[in-house]
Chain A
Amino acid sequence: MKPSPAMLALVTDAYRGRGGIAQYNRDFFEALAEAGLLSITVLPRQAPDSSGMPEPVEQLQARPGRIAYSVAALRTALFRIVDVVFCGHLFMAPLAALIARLKGAKLIIQAHGIEAWPRPSRIQRMATERADLVLCVSRYTRAAVLSWAAIAPDRVLVVPNTVREVFTPADGSAQRVALGVEGKRVLLTVGRMDSRERYKGHDRVIAAIPDLVAKGHDICYMVVGEGDDRARLEALVRNAGVSDRVRFLGDVGLQSLIEIYRAADLFVMPSTGEGFGVAFLEAMASGTPALGLATAGAKDALADGELGTSTSEAELSVAISRLLHQAKPDSFDLARAVRARFGREKFVAMADQVLNRLTERDSDNPNAVFGESLISHADRP
């Protein structure tokens, strides 16, 4: 019988939070709940509202302050059963390791992207080295963690992002009419425009537009997302003389986002800093082919070319042109392939494996004791 442990999750944000990490946390908790976790207590730094959670998940009041957060975490741990401590961000690893130690609990540390790539502080590194499991969203993030942490590689697993089931393929022509882009070749990027990070690659797409137009593609580049780098990018568009070909749509609601994905001809995100790049999956699950750079976590989201296409920075314009020339793949086939690999079912199975890894003893190892059943009948006299 599978034990049903109780988990305390220390996260930056989960329910009602925006962005990839919050989404990942929600997906992961739901998958764990489905895999048989008895209770999950979530203590966020941000996002106070806690509606829309599945049954075994309880989100406590957010504590933005560092000290208040630590006190709340310790107090929560003191009064509750904690079998597993989940640490959703590296900077909380020391606190999570402390609680795990005090409670004799297992420790899971989650590593996403750029936060886990450079060598962290000594105390964060030591906390990571104490983890029972470190979960990384991509092979790239895993390799980065192993480059600075002296931890058995077998304890560092890749659990990729999953794509939500709301993203499905459908005819996008109505949306194209609504956006006024009928007959155009629509490129799409979805992502935050952060002036400190600037890795998503909007600049690279904008720079490629004149060349693509010269090659005869009637390009319209749609940019979904918000951020403090938007003004700079808008200026860049004006200076490049492609204002009539670029549309900044800002943040859009989920339903619009789904329809915009369907309306695009090609999802392009030549990013250099993706921990994974869940937007690639959302696009492909919506039936739209995806193109990225063969850099960092994007290689995983594009499945080494099996689902999407990856290219180099220098070849970006050529790759876009080639993909626009090709016939669009069957959107349902593409969506099916993405779901088979990164869908919810797969993700729940992985969460189940993570739980098993935490609770398995030698006796659970299928290899430790083999029963008679392993001997084939042909082998019997």
Chain B
Amino acid sequence: MTSEDGRFVVVFNGEIYNYPQLRTELETDGARFRTTSDTEVLLHLYARHGAEMVHRLRGMFAFAIWDQAQHCLFLARDPYGIKPLYTANDGWTFRFASQVKALLAGGHLSRDPEPAGVVGFHLFGSVPEPFTLYRDIRSLPAGHTQFVNAAGPREPKSFSNLAELLAKGAANAVPVAEISERVRAAVLDSIRAHSLADVEVGIFLSAGVDSGALLGCMRDAGQRGVRAITLAFEEFRGTSEDEAPLAARVSDHYGAHHIVRRLSQQEFVQDLPAILDAMDQPSIDGVNTWFVSKAAKEAGLKVVISGLGGDELLGGYPSFADVPRWRRRFGALAVVPGLGLFARTLIGRVAPAFSHARPKALGLLEHSGTWAGAYLLRRGLFLPNELPKVMDPEIAREGMRRLRPLRSLGASLKPDPGSDLARVCVLESVHYMRNQLLRDADWAGMAHSLEIRVPLVDFTLLGKLASSIPAITKGAGKAALAAAPMMPLPNEVVTRAKSGFAVPTGAWINSVVGNASSSIGHKPESKGIVSRRWSQAVLNGGPLTKRPLEVHAS
């Protein structure tokens, strides 16, 4: 879209949820609107405030504005990194796109591997920004802007910082008694903002707390007969592992229109090539998001609400207990130089079977001395010392040097968020969620022309809850969320959610990539080991397609 005078041109991917307020403000200031699109708001805001405009936006966005008068380009990406933005600069030409694939399709970029991206994928199961698998292509980091003119692209500049927001909150912590009311108000506000649309807004409904509470809040926001999509698995039909019956109860509870989509192993295997093809950057996850998006598309939905982000925000993962505990328990030992390495080497010699089956257990002493190290250990697919076994050792060494995973994990915790929950919240949000969950939601949704909205991944929401987070104890966050709707979630949802549901996709994946010889006469392999094998299959273009990525030392 071009501004009325032709000076500014914008390309925009995303949604601006506070667009009505911004439009009113701008009109009061004299702006004349020609469309009803939120895109036009960006042009008017930029003309008035330049780069500072980003602070006024609430939403998910990646955009670029070209200034025809000054011959310069301005790029920005939302604080959480919900929308992707990739750039490539060969020294002559600056290119950008919302997918790595799109940049490659242009044909002018080399496919030389970026060791930091390859190593990052092996460490985390997804490619950590700002890197991609290709040296020529980078991600504009979340919450950053970038300015480009004839003198070249400038280094991206941060305009928002989760750790800082949480640190401010910790300094003004509120009493425990206030938490529930604050969660209620903040989530309802976010749901209202995220429901703004010219088309019907559906929801992904599991039997968990996050999506159930969001559905309840949608009802409170005045929406009736919301279509709720639940993904269920054929082989769990009629068992206690089946989420569908409980999801149906939640749906009834809030007067929603429930759609259960059953998935079979056959359909999973059938779709695998398409899944691997739709992935922009390799990821070891995203399969469930693919199928639930497919179901939403079949139902004719274009926009859905997802509970993604609830676990990161309110302490829903085991990591919220594990990371602080490991740090307390092993942290003191981990500061002894060389002890971890010694123990790992010793156990590797004495009990090789143990180190094969539980490679991460050996990393406890080595990594749990810092928050970053303990988190790497919790989320890590492979540990740094294992990399030379799964890739060219030269790539592994160079990749570690360029990626510096502990340093970048540590940097995300500056300033100190002030509480255990807030620290893990930041680590999970800016690493796992940003590089994996949100990327998966993006490609899996886009492949089905579906816009996935995430009200629990919202900087405004985080700002409102920052002062509550330090006081949230184990389980209290989710309890507050369950109680957020005027009609709270049924108790059994909260209780059942604690034990969790199984998904068979892990077993299906294993049946596709599994190593038959190792499963005969042995104990079943752990989930982590299967994930590792799956990661190799994904990186190599999958077991069913032939699209090898060549990785050589440069």
Contact = CB atoms under 8 A, between A and B. Distances in A.
Interface in A112-161: 136, 138-139, 142-143, 146-148, 150, 152-158
A120 to B, nearest CB: 14
Contacts of A375: 47-48
A1 to B, nearest CB: 18
A187 B114 CA distance: 42
Contacts of B30: 379-381
A379 B44 contact: yes
Contacts of B51: 365, 367-368, 370
Contact of B138 (A139, A153, A369): A153
B255 interface: no
Interface string B15-48: 0000000000000001110000000000010111
A376 interface: yes
B91 A353 contact: no
A138 B92 CA distance: 9
B200 interface: no
Given A376-B7, A379-B5, A357 B74 contact: no
Interface string A358-381: 000010011111100011111111
B136 A143 contact: yes
Contacts of B138: 153
Contacts of B52: 368-370
A356 interface: yes
B152 A157 contact: yes
Contact of A154 (B46, B50, B112, B153): B153
A365 B47 contact: no
A380 to B, nearest CB: 5
B402 interface: yes
A357 B152 contact: yes
B552 to A, nearest CB: 12
A356 B153 contact: no
A142 B149 CA distance: 18
A7 B3 CA distance: 43
Nearest to B72: A366
Interface in B137-159: 138, 145, 147, 149-157
Contacts of A143: 90-91, 110, 112, 135-136
A374 B135 contact: no
Given A378-B4, A380-B30, A147 B152 contact: no
Contacts of B110: 143
B135 A147 contact: yes
Nearest to B146: A154
Interface in B70-92: 70, 72, 74, 89-92
Contacts of A136: 91
A356 B157 CA distance: 18
Nearest to B65: A367
B31 A379 contact: yes
B4 to A, nearest CB: 5
A5 B91 CA distance: 25
B5 A376 contact: yes
B41 to A, nearest CB: 13
B147 A146 contact: no
A114 to B, nearest CB: 16
A370 B47 contact: yes
B519 interface: no
A142 B4 contact: no
B401 interface: yes
Contact of A376 (B4, B74, B145): B4
Contact of A367 (B31, B32, B74, B92): B74
A152 B155 contact: yes
Contacts of A147: 112, 135, 554
B438 to A, nearest CB: 24
Contacts of A146: 135
Nearest to A349: B150
A150 B74 CA distance: 25
Contacts of A362: 157
A370 B43 CA distance: 13
A51 B88 CA distance: 43
Contacts of B47: 370, 374-376, 379
A136 B89 CA distance: 13
Given A158-B92, A379-B44, A353 B4 contact: no
A367 B147 contact: yes
Interface in A154-186: 154-158
B496 interface: no
Interface in B85-115: 89-92, 110, 112
Nearest to A354: B151
Contacts of B152: 154, 157, 353, 357
Contact of B154 (A139, A154, A374): A154
A182 B30 CA distance: 74
Contacts of B7: 376
Nearest to A381: B30
B89 A379 contact: no
B49 interface: yes
A353 to B, nearest CB: 4
Nearest to A155: B155
Contact of A374 (B50, B89, B151, B156): B50
A154 B89 contact: yes
Contacts of B50: 366-370, 374
B91 A158 contact: yes
Given A139-B90, A147-B554, A370 B147 contact: no
A251 to B, nearest CB: 33
Interface centre among A142, A147, A369, A374 (most CB of B within 10 A): A374
Contacts of B401: 150
A366 B70 contact: yes
Contacts of A156: 91
A154 B153 CA distance: 6
Contacts of B46: 370
Contacts of B554: 147-148
B16 to A, nearest CB: 19
A150 B90 contact: no
Contacts of B156: 154
B451 to A, nearest CB: 29
A365 B91 contact: no
Contacts of B89: 153-154
Nearest to A379: B31
B291 to A, nearest CB: 37
B49 A365 contact: no
Interface in A282-338: 300
Contact of B90 (A142, A154, A155): A142
Interface in B194-241: none
Nearest to A356: B151
A311 B155 CA distance: 36
What 6 A-B pairs come out closest when comparing CB atoms? Answer: A370-B50, A158-B91, A353-B151, A376-B5, A381-B30, A367-B51
20 contacts: A142-B91, A147-B112, A147-B135, A147-B554, A153-B138, A154-B152, A154-B154, A157-B152, A300-B92, A354-B151, A357-B151, A367-B51, A367-B74, A370-B49, A374-B47, A376-B3, A376-B7, A376-B47, A379-B47, A380-B30
Given A158-B91, A353-B151, A376-B3, 4 more contacts: A146-B135, A357-B152, A366-B147, A369-B50
